[in-house]
């Protein structure tokens, strides 16, 4: 009998612990063009499909020629390019629900329940991400709108702080390392191997390197952060980024017409304007969806930002 009571007590005590250990939903796969997978920390990966949930702590990978769009619960978005690896390091978000209609009694004070109680239990709202490989385009959501300090995008060599921003970052691959526009920006003898290229489509980001130097980029500006922490401004949209986007037409099945860039701008016009999201030939429906998501999420602050003077950067 005593053994039964002990077992019952242990089972009852284990229930709240198991409930607390449940993963926190962070976002949803709203677009998948190709193949992608996700894995929780210490777990094996599983294939993703449109509509699947991405959780706090997950690492998402895209295959060759594959794009996936993650819409987070705070309405932020991340579009992963082919051959990318992206981690949701820490994500907590809660939205206050309307107060109950009935007036509270003195013995029961009125409360406002949260749609995601884990956001409060976990120490407040936060959206901390890490790009480990490949590239992405991101639009900050309501977490950043409430407090910019609660949003961070890290890479192997730099961390991005944002100001109501639509931005993109790429870990420098072979195409980047041989790009004339990238090499032209570097002093003789410097190598882009292991570097990160970052740029802004709207808003502003501050890129801080592993050595503590930083450069602030406004809309239309790009920079490269080398593996040693040194930073250099680029003359505009690097050629390799435009080429990678145009190459999407060769790996996208069922292509129908030209792609659509951010805000619904035709891809050809976006290339000329220095801000390309998806190249010509990508399925029209895919491009239109991305355009809508980016277009409706990009204005987080409702205020105009101005670029600050960069430090630790060279031309």
- Per-residue model confidence (pLDDT) at position 21: 63
Number of separate domains in the chain: 1
- Per-residue model confidence (pLDDT) at position 231: 97
Residue 244 falls inside a structural domain: yes
Residue 292 and residue 265 in contact, taking contact as beta carbons nearer than 8 Å = no
Residue 158 falls inside a structural domain: no
Residue 126 falls inside a structural domain: no
Residue 32: CB partners within 8 Å, gap ≥ 6?
48, 49, 50, 66, 67, 68, 69
Cite the beta strand spans of 147-278 per DSSP E. 151-154, 158-162, 166-171, 196-202, 204-209, 214-218, 222-225, 231-233
- Per-residue model confidence (pLDDT) at position 94: 81
Retrieve residue 281's tokens. 């030939």
Phi, psi of 260 (to 5 degrees): -125, 130
Q: Considering just the CA atoms, what is the radius of gyration of the chain in Å?
A: 22
Nearest to 96 by CA among 77, 75, 119: 119
Retrieve residue 223's tokens. 């920079």
* Spatial separation of the C-alpha atoms in residues 297 and 285, rounded to whole Å: 18
Domain that holds residue 297: 240-304
* Spatial separation of the C-alpha atoms in residues 311 and 145, rounded to whole Å: 25
- Per-residue model confidence (pLDDT) at position 189: 92
Residue 261 falls inside a structural domain: yes
- Per-residue model confidence (pLDDT) at position 2: 52
List, in sequence order, every residue forming a beta bridge with 199; answer none if it has no partner.
Answer: 168, 222
* Spatial separation of the C-alpha atoms in residues 207 and 221, rounded to whole Å: 12
- Per-residue model confidence (pLDDT) at position 155: 97
Residue 257 falls inside a structural domain: yes
In the three-class reduction of DSSP (H, G, I as helix; E, B as strand; rest coil), residue 296 is classed as: helix
Residue 280 falls inside a structural domain: yes
Residue 254 falls inside a structural domain: yes
- Per-residue model confidence (pLDDT) at position 266: 32
Q: What is the DSSP letter of 137?
A: E
Residue 35 and residue 78 in contact, taking contact as beta carbons nearer than 8 Å = no
- Per-residue model confidence (pLDDT) at position 16: 53
Nearest to 59 by CA among 122, 119, 130: 130
Residue 86 and residue 50 in contact, taking contact as beta carbons nearer than 8 Å = no
- Grouped pLDDT means (10 residues each) for the chain, 315 residues: 50 50 90 95 92 97 94 96 96 63 46 37 78 95 92 96 90 93 94 95 95 95 96 93 61 35 33 33 36 39 35 41
- Per-residue model confidence (pLDDT) at position 242: 78
Q: Is 177 exposed, middle or buried (0-12, 13-18, 19+ CB in 10 A)?
A: middle
Residue 76: CB partners within 8 Å, gap ≥ 6?
127, 138, 139, 140, 141, 142, 143, 144, 297
Residue 144 falls inside a structural domain: no
Q: What is the DSSP letter of 263?
A: G
């Amino acid at each position: 009998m005593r053994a039964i009571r002990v077992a019952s007590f242990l089972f009852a005590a284990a229930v709240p612990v198991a409930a607390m250990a449940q993963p926190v939903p962070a976002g949803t796969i709203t677009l998948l063009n190709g193949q992608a997978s996700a894995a929780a920390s210490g777990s094996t990966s599983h294939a993703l499909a449109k509509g699947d949930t991405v959780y706090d702590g997950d690492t998402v990978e895209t295959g060759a020629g594959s794009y996936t769009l993650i819409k987070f619960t705070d309405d932020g978005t991340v579009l992963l390019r082919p051959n990318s690896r992206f981690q949701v390091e820490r994500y907590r978000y809660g939205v206050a629900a309307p107060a109950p209609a009935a007036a509270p009694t003195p013995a029961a004070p009125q409360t406002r329940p949260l749609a995601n109680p884990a956001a409060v239990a976990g120490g407040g709202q936060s959206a901390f991400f890490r790009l480990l490989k490949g590239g992405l385009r991101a639009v900050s959501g309501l977490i950043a709108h409430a407090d910019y300090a609660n949003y961070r995008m890290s890479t192997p060599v730099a961390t991005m702080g944002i100001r109501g921003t639509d931005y993109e970052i790429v870990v420098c691959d072979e195409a980047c390392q041989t790009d004339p526009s990238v090499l032209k920006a570097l002093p003789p003898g410097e190598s882009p191997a292991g570097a990160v290229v970052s740029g802004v489509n709207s808003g502003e980001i501050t890129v801080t390197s592993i050595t503590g130097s930083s450069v602030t980029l406004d809309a239309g500006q790009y920079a490269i952060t080398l593996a040693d922490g040194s930073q250099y401004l680029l003359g505009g949209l690097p050629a390799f980024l435009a080429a990678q986007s145009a190459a999407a037409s060769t790996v996208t099945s069922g292509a129908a017409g030209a792609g659509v860039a951010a805000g619904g701008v035709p891809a050809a016009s976006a290339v000329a304007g220095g801000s390309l999201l998806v190249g010509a030939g990508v399925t029209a429906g895919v491009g239109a969806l991305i355009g809508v998501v980016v277009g409706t999420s990009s204005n987080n602050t409702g205020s105009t930002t101005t670029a600050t003077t960069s430090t630790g950067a060279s031309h």
